[in-house]
Amino acid sequence: MATILNDCFAEHHKLLPAEEALARLRAGVSPVVGCEEVSLANAKGRILAQNLVSPNNVPPFNNAAVDGYAFNSQDLSANIETTLAISAYIAAGGETPAPLQSGSAARIFTGAPLPAGADTVIMQEDVTADEQSVSIPQHTKTGINWRPAGEDMSAGETVLLAGHRLRPQDIGCAAAMGYAKLSVFKRLKVAVFSSGNEIYEPGQTPPEGGIFDVNRYMLMTQVRQTGAEVSDLGILPDTLDATVAALDLAAKNHDLILSSGGVSTGDKDHIAHAINQLGQINFWRLAIKPGRPLAFGHIANTALIGFPGNPVATGVCFMRFGFPLLCALSGQIWPEPIKLTLPAAFSLSKKPGRTEWLRANLQVDTNGRSQVDKHPRQGSGILTSLVGADGLIELCESSTRIEIGDAVSFLPFSQFNVA
Ligand code: AMP
Ligand code: MG
């Protein structure tokens, strides 16, 4: 085994910086799934495979923004109240009204087409009126209370780009443009398994030395949150043959394989060797904490990430590496996390030369300012630190010391769909 490590994996002896690993993931990724049409009702969370160009102006016609009276400001008398005869009655849903008769007003309701010749709508609350006439106070502001055609989206405008994940507001926007169906990327097929002779299914009674499988359930949920289809491939024993056979089979009908455990350099760690036997490893050992062993490679066209076994490391590494890769393979534009810069409510010494992610909480200090505190227990076996946190603090490779009040980068969990 040592020979294989030295020969085939020599490059991986140096720990790869997190930024370099992310850059490699990003450079090599493109959508691997085809397209399908979905109705608007089924489009939430799907990724657009077409640019959405507005075929029409939205709104399609000039229309009243309030219930009131439409008139032309040229017809107002200076410095005195003006009374105009009401010459038309225009409700929402009617045909294009006739042009406004000069010197008159139209009764109009919200969403109704503004008649040509009118340039102002006054709210009904701001006038005195009866069925025949309306009195408009002096100093009334003109040119307001109506919405021009195309003020939101103009005909021919590209409103949403291919690669955008559809949120409720985007689906509303597609509806406003008149789309009934959308072309979206098919769901990515993702295989998930755990590995380790000590790992048992929750619900079973594990024997001495056994523990319950955390990672598979956490990873499958994280994957589903991105909209991908999950195949639950269970728990692999710690043998090279079983690992090779399982990866080989999974690669045949999945776009991505995620495994956890067995990715280090111990005698019982077979994931990296199995990938190397069946395909290629792109990187394996990273300058990160939690984590370090994290294998990325390919078996034919199927991408594969082998996460470290410790559940915190698996959870965090999924967020930082797995999540963007999965999104991009699914057709989404690579989601670069937004890093909030906030003062630290803690001090800490850190080893240089690796990127670290602390589980952390947002807080408000006594002056009402936002700050971020690290969870008190940071061990990579402390799964409750993930449960008790709102996000991750990212400490860059070069940093060695954080003092209270220093600016640190905070990545809310909401960015990884795990808030
Ligand atoms: P490994 O990298 O396989 O040596 O695993 C590192 C640590 O993570 C060990 O303590 C394993 O028992 C633990 N571990 C590995 N896989 C899982 C899992 N699926 N659920 C919970 N703990 C795990
Ligand atoms: Mg193991």
What pLDDT band is residue 1 in, cutting at 50, 70 and 90?
A: very low
Pocket test for ligand 1, best of 200, 211, 285 (most atoms within 8 A of CB): 211
Q: 189-204: per-residue pLDDT in tens?
A: 999 999 999 999 999 9
Looking at ligand 1, which atom is closest to the CA of residue 214? 20
Instruction: Cite the beta strand spans of 244-389 per DSSP E.
Output: 256-260, 280-289, 293-299, 302-307, 340-343, 348-349, 355-364, 370-374
Query: The whole model's pTM is what?
Result: 0.92
* Ligand 1 pocket residue status of 310, Cβ below 6 Å: yes
Beta strands 370-374 and 355-364, pairing class = antiparallel
Q: Which ligand is nearest to the CA of 192?
A: 1
Ligand 1 pocket member 63 (CB < 6 A):
no
Given the CA of residue 293, which atom of ligand 1 is nearest to it? 2
- Asked if 260 and 306 touch (Cβ cutoff 8 Å), the reply is yes
310-361 residue pLDDT tens: 999 999 999 999 999 999 999 999 999 999 999 999 999 999 999 999 999 9
**Nearest ligand to residue 218 Cα:** 1
In 12-80, which residue ranges form alpha helices assigned H by DSSP? 18-27
Which residue's alpha carbon is nearest to atom 6 within ligand 1? 309
Judged against a pLDDT cut of 90, whether residue 83 lies above it is answered with yes
Does the beta carbon of 259 lie inside 6 Å of ligand 1?
no
Q: In the structure encoding, which two tokens stand for residue 284, read together?
A: 């394996």
Q: Which of 11-15, 35-39, 157-161, 176-180 shows the lowest per-residue confidence on average (mean pLDDT)?
A: 11-15
CA of 75 relative to ligand 2 center, distance in Å: 84
- Ligand with smallest separation from the Cα of 313: 1
Distance 296 CA to ligand 1 centre (A): 18
Ligand 1 neighbourhood includes 199 CB (under 6 angstroms): yes
Identify which of 48, 25, 49 has the alpha carbon closest to the alpha carbon of residue 326: 25
pLDDT band of residue 120 (cuts 50, 70, 90) is very high
177 lines ligand 1 (CB under 6 A): no
Structural contact between residues 304 and 247, judged by C-beta atoms closer than 8 angstroms: yes
The beta strand positions in 128-278, using DSSP E, are: 128-129, 133-136, 146-147, 158-160, 181-185, 189-195, 199-200, 211-212, 229-236, 256-260
**Dist. CA 408–CA 372, nearest whole Å:** 8
**Residue 337 structure tokens:** 């996390």
Residue 393: what are its φ and ψ, rounded to 5°? -90, 130
